Chains A and B, each alone.
Chain A
Amino acid sequence: MTGEARLRLRPAAALWREVHGETIVLQLDQSQYLGVNAAGTVLWPALVAGATRDELVGRLLSAYAIGQDQAALDVDAFLLACRAHNLLEP
Chain B
Amino acid sequence: MTGSKPSTPGEPSVTRALRSVAAHGLPSRLGPAAIAGPAWAHFMAMAEHQRLQGLVGEAIQAGALRVSAEQAAQARRATIEAARQVLALEAVLLRALSTLGPAYPVRLLKGPVLARTAYDDVSSRGFIDIDLLLPSTHVDAAVTTLEAAGWRRLTPQLRAGFDRRFGKTVCLEDSDGLQLDLHRTLAKGPYGLLIDVDSLWAGETHVSVAGQQIPCLPAEHHFLAVCYHAALGDVPPRLVPLRDVAQTLLHTDLDADRIAALARSWRGEAVLARALTLAWEILELEQAHPLVEWARAYRPGLVARLDLLPYVSRWRGPALMMLGSLRALPETRARMALVRAMVFPERAFLERRGLSRLRWLWKPSRSSQACVPARPPTCEAPE
Is B103 at the interface (CB under 8 A from chain A)?
A: no
Q: Which of B61, B86, B208, B212 contacts A17 (CB 8 A)?
A: B86
Asked, given contacts A20-B61, A28-B210, whether A15 binds B79 with beta carbons under 8 Å apart, the answer is no
* Chain A binder among B88-96, B248-256, B291-299, B367-375: B88-96
Interface size on A, residues (CB 8 A): 17
Is B87 at the interface (CB under 8 A from chain A)?
A: yes
Task: Digitize B81-123: 1 where CB-to-A-CB distance is under 8 Å, 0 elsewhere.
Answer: 0011011101100100000000000000000000000000111
How far, in whole Å, are A16 and B116 apart by their CA atoms in the complex?
Answer: 13
Q: Are B90 and A19 in contact (CB under 8 A)?
A: no
Q: Which residues of A contact B211 (CB under 8 A)?
A: 10-12
How far, in whole Å, are A28 and B211 apart by their CA atoms in the complex?
Answer: 12
B302 to chain A, nearest CB (A): 47
Residue in A closest to B58 when the chains form the complex, CB atoms: A20
Q: Are A16 and B80 in contact (CB under 8 A)?
A: no
Q: Are A11 and B57 in contact (CB under 8 A)?
A: no
How far, in whole Å, are A31 and B212 apart by their CA atoms in the complex?
Answer: 17
Q: Which residues of B contact A18 (CB under 8 A)?
A: 121, 123
Q: Which of A11, A20, A24, A28 contacts B84 (CB 8 A)?
A: A24
Q: Which of A12, A24, A31 contacts B210 (CB 8 A)?
A: A12
Q: Which residues of A contact B91 (CB under 8 A)?
A: 15, 26, 28, 31
B159 to chain A, nearest CB (A): 38
Q: Are B90 and A15 in contact (CB under 8 A)?
A: yes
Q: Are A15 and B123 in contact (CB under 8 A)?
A: no
Q: Which residues of A contact B83 (CB under 8 A)?
A: 17, 19, 24
Q: Which of A16, A20, A25 contacts B79 (CB 8 A)?
A: A20
A27 to chain B, nearest CB (A): 10
Residue in A closest to B209 when the chains form the complex, CB atoms: A15
Q: Are A26 and B87 in contact (CB under 8 A)?
A: yes
Q: Which residues of A contact B76 (CB under 8 A)?
A: 19-20
Which residues in window 11-64 of A have CB below 8 A to B? 11-20, 24-26, 28, 31, 33
Q: Are B80 and A19 in contact (CB under 8 A)?
A: yes
Q: Are B57 and A16 in contact (CB under 8 A)?
A: no
Q: Are A26 and B88 in contact (CB under 8 A)?
A: yes
Q: Which residues of B contact A25 (CB under 8 A)?
A: 87
How far, in whole Å, are A26 and B178 apart by their CA atoms in the complex?
Answer: 15
Q: Which residues of B contact A16 (CB under 8 A)?
A: 87
Q: Which residues of A contact B57 (CB under 8 A)?
A: 19-20
A24 to chain B, nearest CB (A): 5
A49 to chain B, nearest CB (A): 13
Q: Which residues of A contact B122 (CB under 8 A)?
A: 17
Name the 7 nearest CB pairs between A and B, nearest first.
A11-B211, A26-B87, A17-B83, A17-B123, A15-B87, A12-B211, A19-B83
Q: 11 A-B contacts, Cβ less than 8 Å apart? A: A13-B210, A15-B91, A19-B76, A19-B83, A20-B57, A20-B80, A24-B83, A24-B87, A25-B87, A26-B87, A33-B87
